[in-house]
Amino acid sequence: MRREHSTPRDGWEKTIEGQGLAYHRAAHPTGLARPYWDESVHYVFSMAEIEALEEQVEELHGMCLRAVEHVVSTGRFADFALPEWSWEEVARSWERRDPHLYGRFDLRYDGTGPAKLLEYNADTPTSLLEASVVQWFWLQDVHPGDDQWNSLHERLIDRWRALRLPPGPVHFAFTNADETGEEAMTVAYLQETAEQAGHPTISVAMEDIGWDDLGRRFVDAGDQVIRSAFKLYPWEWMLSDDFGHHAVRHATWVEPLWKALLSNKALLAVLWELYPGHPSLLPAYLDGPRELTSYISKPLLGREGASMRIVTPGGTRETPGRYGREGYVHQGFEALPEFGGERPVLGAWVVADEAAGLGIRESTGLITDDTSSFVPHRIAD
């Protein structure tokens, strides 16, 4: 694993916008000198490194599924700060094996040993278009003889074909609250993969979904019944909404309700309980840092690196935010490796239950937040 510099393509901004990354200017806070999509640098891996990472990711995914089974079978829903009324519905969703689509592991990796799990974004992961489409076309333009860990597009289409969904169109829901356009474009891309798999689809804003009390069903703005829907909208938000009680019982949602356990950072503590000392895990606890002298406290339902606290013998650092009301997990802290003054976090994608691709985000800080930049990668063998 190494970091290399390269010359950006002429007109790269228009190129990536034509490939769907229309939000790259809005994805960053204003005033940053570095663009969100940065092809002036990229990472190079050996095939042996990628094969090892694929194996580790699929092992981690299997461990996570067994953790869900453990939580459901032991009734540990309170550790995840889920509302008590939803516990039985989460269990039923898992017992039915409600269909799931994809997820993204965030990993610490420096090329010298097993990757370490930082968290699992298994409900509403983004940076998908960058990883699946945009960096693939970069590779074809700049390094056409090389390979890339990237079978995302094909695997997403195959997964949509395999999903057994109710008859009728699949609705694809985004929220109007997103001002950058990232979520709308991510949903539009996933909608395209579903259409390529043969599903009729309809686009809808979450804010435009209505509840037909007489018919006991969800409907869109045109009164079309919603029988199945992909939503880029977190389950914790849905469970706190007025229609949350209906959502857990009506319509087939992708991602399913049981994914609320995988997208919650309490998962990290459960994994450490079930697999203590595993080489791809960092110690993690819900009741405090225990023996850890260097640790990071993460809100169970935090996003974009907000509301985190790093404690080391050298001092304490905190990020601003409004998360943490539900509680924290305390995870052993190992700083992200440094390459050329930047710290990469690997976003390893899973589609269905198989490793499917890699996206890399860089930042100068110890926590990857909304100031990070996405950089492409290649396999040089």
For 320, phi then psi, to 5°, come to -70, 160
3-state secondary structure of 275: coil
Q: Which residues of the chain have pLDDT under 70?
A: none
| Residue-wise pLDDT tens digits, 343-369 | 999 999 999 999 999 999 999 988 888
d(CA 246, CA 117) in angstroms, rounded, equals 34
In order, the DSSP letters of 187-203 are: HHHHHHHHHHTT--EEE
Determine if residue 341 is left, alpha or beta; phi over 0 gives left, psi from -120 to 50 gives alpha, anything else beta: left
Determine if residue 181 is left, alpha or beta; phi over 0 gives left, psi from -120 to 50 gives alpha, anything else beta: left
Tell me what pLDDT residue 143 has. Answer: 97
Kindly report the number of other CB atoms within 10 A of residue 167's CB atom.
7
Tell me what pLDDT residue 132 has. Answer: 98
Tell me what pLDDT residue 83 has. Answer: 96
* Rg of the chain (C-alpha set): 20
Tell me what pLDDT residue 381 has. Answer: 75
Burial code (b: 16+ CB inside 10 Å, e: under 16) for 239-262 equals: beeeebebbbebbbbbbbbbbbbb
Tell me what pLDDT residue 26 has. Answer: 79
d(CA 354, CA 57) in angstroms, rounded, equals 8
Tokens at residue 230, please?
């992909």
The domain spans of the chain are: 2-264+337-379, 285-332
Tokens at residue 203, please?
């686009």
CA angle (84 as vertex; 78, 85 as ends), nearest 5: 155
Kindly report the number of other CB atoms within 10 A of residue 311's CB atom.
18
d(CA 138, CA 132) in angstroms, rounded, equals 11
Within 8 A by CB and 6+ apart from 59, the residues are 280
3-state secondary structure 87-109: HHHHHHHHHCCCCCCEEEEEEEC
Cis peptide before 255, with omega less than 30 degrees from 0? yes
DSSP classification of residue 335: P
Q: Are the CB atoms for 245 and 196 separated by under 8 Å?
A: no
Q: What are the angstrom distances between the C-alpha of 87 and each of 80, 100, 245?
A: 10, 19, 12
Q: Are the CB atoms for 362 and 130 separated by under 8 Å?
A: no
